[in-house]
């Protein structure tokens, strides 16, 4: 009898957040970006209509949504209360699912696993607590069915974009053209564009601008940097262009958002 294959590298690097959220206001509208890394939601009750990177999605009880790296989301609560579990984690070696597997229905059976993970997460810090959280999360990931063992996590084309995006995030203070990205990775414009659309449903330059402005929003809200410094941090040479794009993305100029949160 052949021996089982060896188990590969441990995929989880860290767990950043586990929570259960509830929105009781019917008609509640929201715009947001998902958190860096992987973010998995399980809808427990309610109904939401949302757009994620230009794709229409309907979330009902038992729906799992898998986000990866700052995806832009706009939506409205159609039926309240909207209750969902959420877990955010870092797993650099774990490719996100193909986009067709990012929205999965009929996963109500995962609610007890989310509840166990949340209970472990809220327990006092200890080595046992860390082991339990990792164990529950791995079981939950396997239970989604988004990464079946006989199917790759993402196509080679989709993986190409995550390699490009990871590199671009490390150089977010430098504006890159599509030609420069192609030269860096030795791929044609059509290949890079197809990889980006397969991974996140957007054109490459639009995705990179989205990432820059998402990072900028965090700096506007939570840092003491002035607007010129923030614009330079995210690759804008001219602060007025940064302010213009920020307003288009987030609905208000960066100075207005900072003053509102003061």
pLDDT at 261: 63
pLDDT exceeds 80 at position 62: yes
How deeply is 212 buried, as exposed, middle or buried, from its count of CB atoms within 10 A (0-12, 13-18, 19+)?
buried
φ/ψ of residue 254, rounded to 5: -60, -35
- Evaluate whether 104 touches 59 at the Cβ level (below 8 Å): no
Alpha-carbon Rg for the chain, nearest whole angstrom, is 20
CATH tag for 156-261 (out of 3.40.50.2300, 1.20.120.450, 1.10.760.10, 1.10.10.60) = 1.10.10.60
Those residues whose C-beta lies under 8 Å from the C-beta of residue 211, and which sit 6 or more positions away, are 69, 70, 165, 168, 169, 172
Q: What is the pLDDT of residues 123-175, one digit of tens each?
A: 999 999 999 999 999 999 989 887 543 334 455 677 788 888 878 887 888 88
Q: Where are the domains of the chain?
A: 14-144, 156-261
| Lowest-confidence segment of 12-21, 211-220, 241-250 by average pLDDT | 211-220
CATH tag for 14-144 (out of 2.60.120.280, 3.40.50.970, 3.40.50.620, 1.20.1300.10) = 2.60.120.280
pLDDT at 2: 60
pLDDT exceeds 70 at position 94: yes
CA 88 vs. chain centroid, Å, equals: 9
- Evaluate whether 34 touches 70 at the Cβ level (below 8 Å): yes
Greatest alpha-carbon span in the chain: 69
pLDDT at 150: 38
- What is the DSSP secondary structure assignment for residue 240, as one 8-state letter? H
pLDDT at 6: 65
What percent of the chain shows pLDDT beyond 70? 87
pLDDT at 152: 40
pLDDT exceeds 60 at position 18: yes
CA 140 vs. chain centroid, Å, equals: 17
Fold match flag (14-144 vs 156-261)? no
Encoded tokens for 67: 């986000």
For the segment 202-215, the average pLDDT, to the nearest whole number, is 89
To the nearest whole number, what is the mean pLDDT of the chain?
Answer: 86
Tokens 């290949």 -> residue: 191
- Evaluate whether 30 touches 59 at the Cβ level (below 8 Å): no
For the segment 193-203, the average pLDDT, to the nearest whole number, is 86
For the segment 198-214, the average pLDDT, to the nearest whole number, is 87
For the segment 36-59, the average pLDDT, to the nearest whole number, is 88
């Amino acid at each position: 009898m052949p021996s089982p294959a060896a188990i590969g590298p441990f995929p989880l690097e860290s767990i950043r957040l586990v929570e259960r959220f509830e929105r009781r206001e019917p008609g509640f509208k929201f715009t947001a970006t998902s958190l860096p890394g992987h973010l998995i939601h399980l809808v427990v009750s309610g109904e939401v209509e949302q757009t994620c990177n230009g794709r229409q999605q309907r979330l009902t009880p038992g729906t799992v949504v898998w986000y990866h790296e700052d995806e832009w989301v706009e939506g409205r609560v159609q039926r309240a209360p909207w209750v969902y579990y959420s877990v955010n984690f870092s797993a650099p070696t774990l490719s996100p699912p193909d986009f067709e597997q990012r929205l999965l229905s009929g996963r109500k059976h995962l609610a007890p696993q989310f509840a166990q993970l949340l209970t472990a997460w809220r327990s006092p810090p200890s080595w046992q607590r860390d082991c339990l959280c990792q164990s529950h999360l791995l079981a939950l990931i396997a239970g989604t069915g988004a990464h079946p063992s006989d199917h790759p996590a993402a196509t080679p084309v989709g993986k190409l974009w995550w390699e490009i995006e990871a590199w671009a995030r490390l150089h977010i203070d430098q504006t890159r053209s599509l030609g420069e990205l192609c030269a860096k990775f030795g791929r044609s414009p059509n290949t890079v564009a197809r990889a980006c659309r397969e991974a996140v449903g957007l054109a490459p330059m639009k995705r990179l601008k989205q990432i820059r402005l998402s990072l900028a929003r965090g700096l506007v809200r939570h840092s003491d940097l002035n607007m010129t410094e923030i614009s330079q941090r995210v690759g804008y040479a001219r602060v007025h262009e940064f302010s213009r794009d920020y307003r288009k993305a987030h609905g208000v100029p960066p100075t207005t958002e900072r003053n509102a949160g003061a």
